[in-house]
Amino acid sequence: MHRSSRFVYLPEKNVSQPALLALEDGSLFWGVAIGAAGETTGEVVFNTSITGYQEILTDPSYSKQIVTLTQPHIGNVGVNSEDEESGGVAASGLVIRDLPLTHSNWRAEEPLATYLERHNVIGIADIDTRRLTRILRDKGAQNGCIVTGERIDEAAAIEAAKGFPGLKGMDLAKEVSTNQTYPWEQGVGRWSTSPIKHAADGHRFNVVAYDFGVKRNILRILVERGCNVTVVPAQTTASEVLAMEPDGVFLSNGPGDPAPCDYAIDAIRAILEGTEIPMFGICLGHQLLALACGAETEKMKFGHHGANHPVQELASGAVMITSQNHGFAVAEASLPATLRATHRSLFDQSLQGIHHTEKPAFGFQGHPEASPGPQDAAFLFDHFIDLMQQRCSA
Amino acid sequence: MPKRTDINSVLVIGAGPIIIGQACEFDYSGAQACKALREEGYRVVLVNSNPATIMTDPEMADATYIEPVCWQTVAKIIEKERPDALLPTMGGQTALNCALDLAREGVLEKFGVQMIGASNDAIDMAEDRDRFRKAMDEIGLESPRSSIAHSMEEAFQVQKKVGFPTVIRPSFTLGGSGGGIAYNREEFVEICERGLDLSPTNELLIEESLVGWKEYEMEVVRDRNDNCIIICSIENFDPMGVHTGDSITIAPALTLTDKEYQVLRNASLAVLRKVGVETGGSNVQFGLNPKDGRLIIIEMNPRVSRSSALASKATGFPIARVAAKLAIGYTLDELSNEITGGTTPASFEPTIDYIVTKVPRFTFEKFPKADSRLTTQMKSVGEVMAIGRTFQESLQKALRGLETGMDGLNEMINLESEEAFEIIQQELRSPGPDRIWYIADAFRYGLSVEEVFELCMVDPWFLVQVQNLVELEKGIKGRELDSFTRDELYALKRKGFSDRRMATLLGAHEEQLRALRHKLDIHPVYKRVDSCAAEFASTTAYLYSTYEEECEAAPSTRDKIMVLGGGPNRIGQGIEFDYCCVQAAFAMRADGYETIMVNCNPETVSTDYDTSDRLYFEPLTLEDVLEIIAVEKPKGVIVHYGGQTPLKLARALEAAGTPIIGTSPDAIDLAEDRERFQQLIQELNLKQPPNATARTQEQALELAQAIGFPLVVRPSYVLGGRAMEIVHHEDDLKRYMTEAVRVSNDSPVLLDHFLSDAIELDVDAVCDGSEVVIGGIMEHIEQAGIHSGDSACSLPTYSLDPAIVERVREQTKQLALGLKVKGLMNVQFAVKGNDIYVIEVNPRASRTVPFVSKACGISLAQVGARCMAGTSLAEQGVSREIVPDYYAVKEAVFPFAKFPGVDTLLGPEMKSTGEVMGVGRTFAEAFAKAQLGAGVILPRGGRVFISVRDGDKPRAIEVARMLREMGFEIVATRGTKETLKQAGIACEAVNKVAEGRPHIVDMIKNGEVNFIINTTSGKRAVSDSSQIRRAALQHKLTYTTTIAGAHVTAMALQQIDQDSVNNLQDLHKELNG
């Protein structure tokens, strides 16, 4: 990757092609193409985070989603190799108001536009993203289609949008997961901001991390907190995991509907029932943990996607501002006696955290690893460390 | 945790008069706090010396003290009211300092008053540079290399460590006043000496310069459960080195990655926790090295600030209101986010889907001798904020909202001229008030982004945006108006270009461009500010224009009254007009109308989204206002309350079919037009000083002979006495006509015979078209020739014969009916002997309306607004003038301490930034309080220096005699001494500066003088004596530059110890009793 000049100047519209975003409800948005040319479909969602477009694009949880960012200028700080949450762009498309003429940041390595092209991501700019957001808010997440080029057929685009099957019932975790087991060694490095909790005697915990679409910052934080992290594919069985003699099992975030992921649900249930190994689930991992305990999940209207969501810890009443990215949620009413609600969203009172009443297992719906977003919930990782510590000491 | 029940009453301290660094943002925050506390059932006691505020409206608190904000006075109020708690965080540095004083003096302890919102220790840690630095070290935040100095020797030692350029910041001063950047030893000495003097603790922070670094601010709110939220991040366009109040700033921060932003966020929260801000809002400022991301903490303010007002307006999150609720025990999750109709809690971080740009407004034209280079000491007097969907749109909206004659990125210099490059380099390198426009010129000149960056260090992200606008302008120039396609024009409007700017570039008129735009069906849409980027539906109509697809205005079909606000604060047009606009909105809402406010000043109460039913945060230009009117279709538009800003639009709005209610634009014009007005005066058999209007220099000289010198000269259509002068000779007039003004057929110059030693009166009245009620008659203390905004005044009159006052009353009524006034009217009279002259009439809200309203217990602005809407005075039950038994004195407050080198002499050009009010049983008591409120400590004894011009000598005798009787020693310059000696008053002679040493300035510097009376006229005498005034200012000596001022000061000194504290509610009861 080349380090670009501080003063990149992208002449406006010289090379730009028209583009169209069509929604299944028939709404049309004409704009200009950014990134790769062609056609893409997916579930259109909006994210209200002001910062972190690179992290959002590379978050595997956005698989099969076209993401619109409500912050109007996207691309201000370019992209860099440090801020990637996975090996590539996961989102199916990007919708923004304005791609700035240049980027400016001391860590920038490449403009967003060429990055999108390089990763073959189709995007559209110059549209009224607020109008789009209001449609998604009122009607719920919509399936959509972005088409670029000089000759665009509006009706065909709407049909394409309608043709997208939707995420309900869609098992994407196994698709985005790694297909082989690998160790993760990189830590948070210079971005470490919170005091780090290590095991008292310098012991390193062996953590097996299920990759359902894992964000790298989760792995970095685990390493930072003294874990030897082994990442395993989504369909790894319980016995395969237990054979690795883990001190803890981590269930990652990921895209799609958790309900059809029976392989994961079975594995989690087996580990939970057969062992006392601490388990921590984030986002999809949290939903899978709930399903394994007998709770139910449901599709939300337009989900939670942003970096400003207040979540209350029920025991203390404390509020933390969290990063959120989910379109499915655990129905609190469905919680079995073995699961205790620990956190709730103050935006809509939806369930945000659970803890097993008998086993050292817990889940969190938001993203304590942040990236992007506030790091208020990072201490949840400490709880995971504590649980492993307790089990070791016992 | 719910609200506290162990406290019942809360004392709120306001910020006092408007000064540079402390403007109406503290009326906004204070008013919000009072409202928030009262709706929780607390008894609110308020002290603020500034009558022009909404917060001092008697309805805003249970007991309102318009009294000096100093600990001695506040102690008396505490003794009388016995509040349980004191909230010191809503009134800026003034309130914090006062609270610290009260704590230090043991007042709080003695009366069992608890400080809420901020602790003594937290305030001290944030303010004490040394403690703050140590605290930051402890949480791992780097501060600039620096040290504290208490003397020049210490200062030199520190300077050696940190090198040049060196930043000098005096501790505990307002708006960083007295600070600066020194590039050499000479500047270093000058700034340090001034800073040591200005700092109440004689303390300087001398630090490494971070000039050129990026600057960010974070607005943080914390509750007692340690829940912390960031309301808004702000990025400064101008890099470090320019005070953030003088910088163009942008929200949200645009050039940080998420990782970097979270570092700032975590650091901000850590700072609040460390400093110990347990509840409330704070502002944390950072510097960031753009080369490697090295982060430095600059400072934090443990209170609401100018930036928090901006952040509130930028996000729709009312920081002051929430901070007040947190102070009384609530936690963030217990409060709701009201802009979304309360469906979401206040414990979240607002997110925005637009770009906010704030641009400061300067008034260096008022202070030609002031250094206009921007430094770490704030110099701007106001600001404009604009909202757009992109930075370019938001910047261009802000620039035209400034009302400095700019429609966008207008050209500053002739690029063909030889000095062009030199000027550009100079203006970019050493920023003045107009740097943004010079940056545009630099691109026009052909400089590259790299070259411009090297000169100004403004982030290239912003520079490229400006460069792009300049290039688009090039593309517009030379085209035919009709050649634009809809797509082209729409694309330009999306970039924020105003019709006017494009018309200028095309050599066309604004109306032509508007016609084309309308023909092509291009109109702005209105989007909502909702704190959540549309994630939740908003019930609040807080709107801004942009060019997009969907309009969210959703206007109702109710009867609506629209109020046009006053735009950015400036000298001559400030908070008083915002006060009037807010009153109009209150009255119209109470009468069942839907109210719509249009304004672009983020500091104000008028731009609070719940002041009116609907708020359009928009520039007050014809284009922007007409588009709103097209969407809202109001029943009536009020243009008379926002000062000159909306008034200037009246004619054009009327021509475009706008239903302007109240006094007609034609009557406004009649009052402004000398010739038409003269006719009216003659018809009414009233008197005017001889006057004329000149359209050429020759004509002026000719007319001057006929009128007779001395003359008051000024350009027509100005507010605040811009470029107004008194000329005594023909030579002066010639100089004025060639140097001071550009006279032309369109902008004539007005000549008035100057009435020496006349007494001026200000009269506010209200008329419904057939009845007139006098609101108040104010007698100026300074004689005619001092701008009315700079003169102290007394209500009721304190020296005039009642028969004269009665005639003034009659003449005011005649004028109101003659002008067919429907609404407010202000008349200025001059009384000389038995003659009454009409100086000017303004059929609109005046600067004195809030003062009169507070003094007389009637909201004149509300009464006026109702007259405009068609409710007669009789129907309102307003039938008689209220003349209080007590005295209310208004005194002006000046920014001279911020502008070293500027002469403090008062004249016909307005220079004050704010005002205070003092109330007393006698005139003298009221005057003494007004002085105290204005920060003038009247000398109790010692030595007075008197030097007066010949015309003042008779009155000087009386003043000197009064002072002698009180035990003052008198020193005087030779001429004055002779006069006093002959009158039998003992005094010593002292040399003038030109007469050899030791002279008067030596005496001042040696602390041998306590009070200075120095009146002067004539160019030579003025410049000879300017050193005296400068020395007086520097040594914080009480001085007066008018004999009338000297006289009342002497009167006040006789009664200085008889003051009591009175609340408005009790005073107003007397009026109605």
Residues B453-482: pLDDT tens digits?
Answer: 999 999 999 999 999 999 999 999 999 999
Determine contact: B336 vs chain A, CB below 8 A: no
Confidence of residue B253 (pLDDT cuts 50, 70, 90): very high
Q: How many whole angstroms separate alpha carbon B69 and alpha carbon B51?
A: 12
Please tell me which of the candidates A55, A73, A346 has its beta carbon nearest to residue B258. A55
Higher pLDDT, residue A14 or A385: A385
CB contact under 8 A, A137 and B333: no
CB contact under 8 A, A72 and B355: yes
Q: Which chain A residue is nearest to residue B227, measuring alpha carbons?
A: A319
Q: How many whole angstroms separate alpha carbon B66 and alpha carbon B89?
A: 18
Confidence of residue B173 (pLDDT cuts 50, 70, 90): low
Question: Best mutation site among A23, A32, A45, A50 for testing chain B: the one with the most B CBs within 10 Å?
Answer: A50
Higher pLDDT, residue B427 or B721: B427
Determine contact: A132 vs chain B, CB below 8 A: no
Residues of B in contact with A127 (CB under 8 A): 549
Question: Best mutation site among B470, B535, B536, B550 for testing chain A: the one with the most A CBs within 10 Å?
Answer: B535
- B 536-565 near A (Cβ less than 8 A): 536-537, 548-550, 552
Residue B1070 CB neighbour total at 10 angstroms: 12
Percent of chain B with pLDDT over 70: 98
Mean pLDDT of A8-24: 72
> Do the beta carbons of residue A251 and residue A278 sit within 8 Å?
no
Whether the per-residue pLDDT at A240 is higher than 50: the answer is yes
Whether the per-residue pLDDT at A195 is higher than 60: the answer is no
CB contact under 8 A, A128 and B550: yes
Strands (E), B618-769: 636-638, 691-694, 711-715, 725-727, 749-753, 759-768
Mean pLDDT of B881-895: 95
Supply the pLDDT for residue B744: 65
Q: How many whole angstroms separate alpha carbon B949 and alpha carbon B499?
A: 54
- Residue pLDDT, tens place only, B431-450: 999 999 999 999 999 999 99
Q: How many whole angstroms separate alpha carbon A21 and alpha carbon A93?
A: 10
Q: Which of A24, A55, A110, A369 is catalytic?
A: A369
Q: Which residues contact B395 (CB under 8 A, 6 or more apart)?
A: B248, B357, B359, B386, B388, B436, B465, B466, B496
Tell me how many helices (H) and strands (E) chain B has: 37, 40
Entry field: residues in chain B: 1073
What is the distance, to the nearest Å, from the Cα of residue B536 to the centroid of all Cα atoms in its chain? 36
Residues of B in contact with A191 (CB under 8 A): 259, 262-263
CB contact under 8 A, B549 and A133: no
Determine contact: A290 vs chain B, CB below 8 A: no
Whether the per-residue pLDDT at A193 is higher than 80: the answer is no
Q: Which residues contact A116 (CB under 8 A, 6 or more apart)?
A: A34, A35, A36, A89, A94, A123
SS3 content of chain A, % helix, strand, coil (to 5): 25, 30, 45
- Residue pLDDT, tens place only, B359-377: 999 999 888 888 899 988 8
What is the distance, to the nearest Å, from the Cα of residue A371 to the centroid of all Cα atoms in its chain? 9
Question: Best mutation site among B222, B273, B335, B349 for testing chain A: the one with the most A CBs within 10 Å?
Answer: B349
Determine contact: A103 vs chain B, CB below 8 A: yes
DSSP state string for B806-853? HHHHHHHHHHHHHTT-EEEEEEEEEEETTEEEEEEEESS--TTHHHHH
What integer best gives the mean pLDDT of chain B? 93
> Do the beta carbons of residue B848 and residue B776 sit within 8 Å?
yes
Determine contact: A110 vs chain B, CB below 8 A: no
What would the two tokens of residue A28 be?
A: 């049309």
What is the distance, to the nearest Å, from the Cα of residue A328 to the centroid of all Cα atoms in its chain? 12
A367 included as an active-site residue:
yes
Supply the pLDDT for residue B1024: 82
> Do the beta carbons of residue A303 and residue A68 sit within 8 Å?
no
H or E element: which one contains B382?
Answer: strand B382-388
Supply the pLDDT for residue B174: 54
Supply the pLDDT for residue B280: 92
Mean pLDDT of B225-244: 96
Looking from the CA of A357 toward its CB, the CA atoms found within 13 Å total 8
Supply the pLDDT for residue B163: 87
- B 193-252 near A (Cβ less than 8 A): 225-227, 229-230, 233, 252
- Tokens 């009146």 belong to which residue? B1015
Q: Which of A145, A283, A343, A355 is catalytic?
A: A283
A283 included as an active-site residue:
yes
Determine contact: B293 vs chain A, CB below 8 A: yes
Please tell me which of the candidates A70, A130, A308 has its beta carbon nearest to residue B349. A308
Whether the per-residue pLDDT at A365 is higher than 50: the answer is yes
> Do the beta carbons of residue B784 and residue B739 sit within 8 Å?
no
CB contact under 8 A, B255 and A77: yes
CB contact under 8 A, A76 and B255: yes
Residues of A in contact with B262 (CB under 8 A): 191, 193, 370, 372-375
Confidence of residue A1 (pLDDT cuts 50, 70, 90): very low
Q: Which of A103, A286, A356, A367 is catalytic?
A: A367
A369 included as an active-site residue:
yes
* Residue A79 DSSP code: B
Determine contact: A97 vs chain B, CB below 8 A: yes
- If we measure between CA atoms, which residue out of A128, A127, A89, A137 comes closest to residue A110? A89
DSSP state string for B193-255? HHHHHHSTT--EEEEE--TT-EEEEEEEEE-TT--EEEEEEEEESS-TTS-GGGS-EEES--S
- Residue pLDDT, tens place only, A205-224: 999 999 999 999 999 999 99
Determine contact: B535 vs chain A, CB below 8 A: yes
First to last CA, chain B: 44
Supply the pLDDT for residue A2: 36
Determine contact: A70 vs chain B, CB below 8 A: yes
For residue A231, what are the β-bridge partners?
A182, A209
Residues of B in contact with A371 (CB under 8 A): 258-259
DSSP state string for B929-966? HHHHHTT-----SSEEEEE--GGGHHHHHHHHHHHHHT
User: In this predicted structure, which of A216-220, B157-161, B792-796, B1058-1062 has the lowest mean pLDDT?
Assistant: B1058-1062
> Do the beta carbons of residue B857 and residue B58 sit within 8 Å?
yes
Q: How many whole angstroms separate alpha carbon A214 and alpha carbon A177?
A: 8
Mean pLDDT of B615-626: 98
Confidence of residue A138 (pLDDT cuts 50, 70, 90): very high
Q: How many whole angstroms separate alpha carbon B297 and alpha carbon B288?
A: 9
What would the two tokens of residue B551 be?
A: 């309009």
Please tell me which of the candidates B262, B464, B534 has its beta carbon nearest to residue A9. B464
Q: β-strands B636-638, B228-236: how paired?
A: unpaired
Whether the per-residue pLDDT at B982 is higher than 90: the answer is yes
- Residue pLDDT, tens place only, B315-353: 999 999 999 999 999 999 999 999 998 888 999 999 999
Percent of chain A with pLDDT over 70: 94
Residues of A in contact with B349 (CB under 8 A): 307-308, 321, 374
CB contact under 8 A, B293 and A6: no
Supply the pLDDT for residue B719: 58
DSSP state string for A357-392? SSSSEEEESSBTT-SSS--TTTHHHHHHHHHHHHHH
The b-or-e profile of B441-480 (16+ CB within 10 A means b, else e) is: bbbbbebebebbbebbbbbbbbbbbbbbbbebbeebeeee
Supply the pLDDT for residue B42: 98
Mean pLDDT of B920-943: 91
Whether the per-residue pLDDT at A137 is higher than 90: the answer is yes
Percent of chain B with pLDDT over 90: 80
- A 295-354 near B (Cβ less than 8 A): 306-310, 312, 317-321, 346-347
